[in-house]
Amino acid sequence: MDIKICGIRREADINIVNKYKPEYIGFIFAPTRRYVSPEYAATLKSGLANGIRTVGVFVNEPVKTVLSTARTAGLDVIQLHGDEDVEYIKSLGTDYEIWKAVRISGGEKIPEIAGASRVLLDKYDEREPGGTGKTFDWSAKPHVSSVPIMLAGGLNTENVLRGIEIFNPAGVDVSSGVETDGAKDENKVRKFIETVRGKI
């Protein structure tokens, strides 16, 4: 079970993830409070422990901007959280693994998106493309295709095991659920990771 800690934006965050070693961390390159510049992301990555892969989160950016940012920041994975289609994904080439977010409002079918190695399930919000800190309706389980999924949207230590039981995802993605007052909280990160890994 892969774990992604998203919204990394401080050296203190890097120290935390180096200690508890999730499989992935996420940098936000969309205009939100968690935004980091590509150059600062590269600086943060330079202090990252070996074996932790980096994901860049983008929303409806021009392809050239995404690829330039990915090179500068040294990303392993490009995560698309907007209205990007199959042609857009194809135009990114093959140098990076691509994850495509799908915002869930009900029990809709989750498509297999050509070129995306994982589909990330997040809550639909008409005002926000993601990062709402809220779960979608898990009782209206979407019909998930054979593509591996990342479960996101309002996850925390209290509900993550239930989400894993329902969706059997390839991984889980958390941000606000391991924060206190908008900053990554070491105790919450530790508890979340240990819960997912069956150590609690």
Q: Total structural domains in the chain?
A: 1
For every residue of the chain, DSSP letters joined together read -EEEE----SHHHHHHHHHH--SEEEEE-SSSTTB--HHHHHHHHHTSPTT-EEEEEESS--HHHHHHHHHHHT-SEEEE-SS--HHHHHHT-SSSEEEEEEEESSSPEEPP-TT-SEEEEEE--SS-SS--S----TTS--EE-SS-EEE-SS--TTTHHHHHHHH--SEEEESGGGEETTEE-HHHHHHHHHHHTT--
CATH number of the domain that 88 lies in?
A: 3.20.20.70
pLDDT in tens, 145-173: 678 999 998 999 999 999 999 889 999 99
pLDDT in tens, 36-91: 999 999 999 999 999 999 999 999 999 999 999 999 999 999 999 999 999 999 99
Mean of the pLDDT values across residues 113-130? 73
Domain that holds residue 108: 2-196
